[in-house]
Amino acid sequence: MATEAPAPTPAPELSPAVVLQWRSAGEPLIELLTRAAAVGPVCVLRLGGTTAALLTDPQGVQHVLARHPDRYVKRSHRLRALLGDGVVCAEGEPWKRQRRFLQRHFTGQGIRRFHRAIEDAARGAAGRWEAYARTGEAFDLVEEMRWYSLDVIWRALTGRGIDPSTQRELQTLQSIFAALPVLPGQGEQPSLAPHVARIDAVVAHTIEQARQAATHSMPTQDPGLLHTLLDAAAEHPEYTERLIRDEIVTLIVAGHETTATTLTWLFLLLDRNPRERALALAAGPRGSAARTASLQALLSECLRLYPAAWLLPRHAIEDDTVAGHRIEAGTTVLSSPYFTHRDPGLWPEPEAFRPRRFLTGEDRPTRPGAYYPFGLGPRACLGAQFALREATALLEHLLPAFVPTLHGAPPGAAFAVTINPVGPVTTTLAPDPAA
């Protein structure tokens, strides 16, 4: 008797996608995305001529960013006009080579070479705060945090603290960020050329200085990552003058605005939750493992509520199925740590600032893809360890010594390429009477 062929396994049923579009020409992107996040794990968006899909489901996010980065690629990166072929925008084999080369300097072991640079910058910031506290001078917290994070990355790159004229020139980055589209291919790319030319001039001058320093002196301290790149050019011809420029600008941009906004948000959250500051300081003496863990928990919870890189776009290069939904080739797939981190189905009381989630493990989902402020998969943040070290070092110096008073806390967040508090955040300081 002939045996019957087994029945073919039915294809998994696909849920029909909910499709949203702009309510009106002036609707802010964040409002459209908030409506989309409420729909479910995947929501399709028709944005003029393009189709996008917002993903909030941890498994879907894992699928796109970590499991199938070959199907979901970075394309027409929003920052390409500024960053060129640096590691953030590069793709394929060049990206692999560049990432491999930089990676070893950004592991836990690799960043040890930057510990002194970070400590020097944190001490510099503490010195400025002492002066503000003494004189009662008001300052803008947003600017102050940018100053610190720019100083750190500049020291890591060049071995020197940032000088006022370089700092002034690099402020032009703010004009560039303000002009960038939040989504790839959204609107016309405005002419950034004059601003980019100013950045190019700063970097060209710095490279020239580094070359001269290398031929004229024997540096006794780490001359910075720029020297490492210049040395690499001798052995790796792909490190052309242009690529060295692109990599330097990439590290300045990726490495400072994200950390600066995170630190600003943390001071704002502590202003609204003063008990959390006291608890973190009471965890143990300065430098103890318990104190460090508490400071890191403050940062982790801050990055949950305000993941600086809040929207991670990818371009689907083939048809696929994600979380039971069809994704067509050509779709812009948007993973958003901001929405996943605030999903009440994953995070109890998601709007509350509760650093203890990260100390006790309670009220914190452990599913991969539920928490990813530094991204996921092969294109996850290169500088995560560096950023955490830099932020913790600043908190070690400032939190025990000062209680900032924030005058007129900002009304909300601006959802640009990073999530920024709507500044300025005018601040005055008093030394902590308990310190």
Binding-site annotation: residue ranges: 381
- Within 8 A by CB and 6+ apart from 214, the residues are 223, 227, 230
Among 52, 55, 243, 308, binds ligand HEM (CB under 6 A): 308
How far apart, in Å, are the Cα atoms of 102 and each of 66, 77, 105, 226, 256? Answer: 20, 20, 6, 11, 17
How far apart, in Å, are the Cα atoms of 187 and each of 177, 181, 182, 367? Answer: 15, 7, 10, 36
- The yes or no reply on residue 302 touching ligand HEM (CB under 6 A) is no
- The yes or no reply on residue 375 touching ligand HEM (CB under 6 A) is yes
- The yes or no reply on residue 281 touching ligand HEM (CB under 6 A) is no
Shortest reach from residue 382's CB to ligand HEM, in Å:
4
Residues 145-204 that bind ligand HEM (CB under 6 A): 153
Shortest reach from residue 293's CB to ligand HEM, in Å:
18
Using the minimum distance from each CB to ligand HEM, give the nearer residue, 133 or 253: 253
Residues 241-270 that bind ligand HEM (CB under 6 A): 250-251, 254-255, 258-259, 262
Report how many residues bind ligand HEM under the rule CB under 6 A: 26
Which residues are known binding-site members for heme? 381
With contacts defined by CB under 6 A, name the span among 14-22, 307-315, 346-354, 355-363 that binds ligand HEM.
307-315
Alpha-carbon gap, residue 39 to 16, rounded angstroms: 12
Among 312, 322, 327, 417, binds ligand HEM (CB under 6 A): 312
- Within 8 A by CB and 6+ apart from 256, the residues are 146, 149, 150, 152, 153
- The yes or no reply on residue 374 touching ligand HEM (CB under 6 A) is yes
Using the minimum distance from each CB to ligand HEM, give the nearer residue, 259 or 340: 259
With contacts defined by CB under 6 A, name the span among 135-143, 272-280, 305-313, 355-363 that binds ligand HEM.
305-313
Using the minimum distance from each CB to ligand HEM, give the nearer residue, 127 or 378: 378
Among 230, 248, 268, 382, binds ligand HEM (CB under 6 A): 382
Among 229, 309, 323, 417, binds ligand HEM (CB under 6 A): 309
Residue labelled with tokens 């919870």: 301
Among 36, 64, 81, 88, binds ligand HEM (CB under 6 A): 88
Shortest reach from residue 130's CB to ligand HEM, in Å:
25
Alpha-carbon gap, residue 134 to 226, rounded angstroms: 37
| Site of interaction with ligand HEM (CB under 6 A) | 87-88, 99, 153, 250-251, 254-255, 258-259, 262, 303, 307-309, 312, 373-375, 379-383, 386-387
